[in-house]
Structure 1
Amino acid sequence: MTKRNEKSIRGPFDRLTKEQQTLIRIDFEGNQSNATIAPKLGLKSSDTVSRWRAKKWYELGLADYTQRAIKTTLKRKALNAIQELLNAKSEMVRLQAANTLLKMAGMLSDNDTPELMQAKIRKANADARVAEARAKSMEDNGQDVEMLLDKLMDKVTEEDKKNGPRQSSDS
């Protein structure tokens, strides 16, 4: 693969000149005046820095560079900070840190609560029992019972939609 093809596969930041990439790095790291930045880029006028920031390539390059920085350096720093919080004195801080790590790992969503997780488990267990009953009834009685079970499940689903899920006595 040629260098030209390799660059076309990479992101917008990689397609920029060395000077343009330097501007984006400087801007990402902190605020500096155009007059301070221009000589670092080999530019005669600070107006050029302003014009470059107004270009579409600047916006795309900065977004690409920011995303990379977050995925690499900043993500590691964030994970290290969260890991330290797992040892905090406050139980609430430890719980939040653990939740954050589980969410980042895809093991927990923003909508998950202990009650919702219990409801999901109850539903999965009920679905499994219905499937077992359906299989057994088909063996014993044929299609008629399967149709009855389907009607029963439809009715339960409709009631749940109207009234919300039923609360079990163990919650």
Structure 2
Amino acid sequence: MNWPQAELTDVERFRALAAGVPGATVTERVLPADPDDVKAMLADLDVFATVQADFVSATVEAQDGDRVVVRAKGARGQRARLVGQLRPGWCWLQSRFLIIGMAVAAEPGGGTRVALTGGIRVPGRAAIVPIGVRRESTKTLDRLEELLRS
């Protein structure tokens, strides 16, 4: 049998994953940059922490392939132990009270599409409190775009 096959970009796969999380809002932007440059930049946790709204630092505590445990510190002194997947062009991390996700894909015709979601997690559920999600993701994309220009 010949079953239909579909190739999904990381951004398309990300949209599908985020659609299963109540309250998650995906914010996207096409940036005038090479996809490999954007992927490399966001795979660097120092840069990742710089562009993420409310982050001061992020440090890999443990890693096995693309599975990671990340210790993050927030601007207001909060701390999180995030567990998930981090590889160039893809990030999905969750702690007890936080979800952060990002995906990168080449845009047909040039540039790079970056998709983000994240926010305060509803304890015990894969759900995000929807207040401020788009605003924070927009700030993160603004910071990323500024870094790419420098």
TM-score by length of 1: 0.20
Q: Which has the higher helix share?
A: 1
Q: Which has the higher strand share?
A: 2
Q: Which has the higher contact order (CA 8 A, sep 6+)?
A: 2
> Looking at CA atoms only, which structure, 1 or 2, has the larger radius of gyration?
1
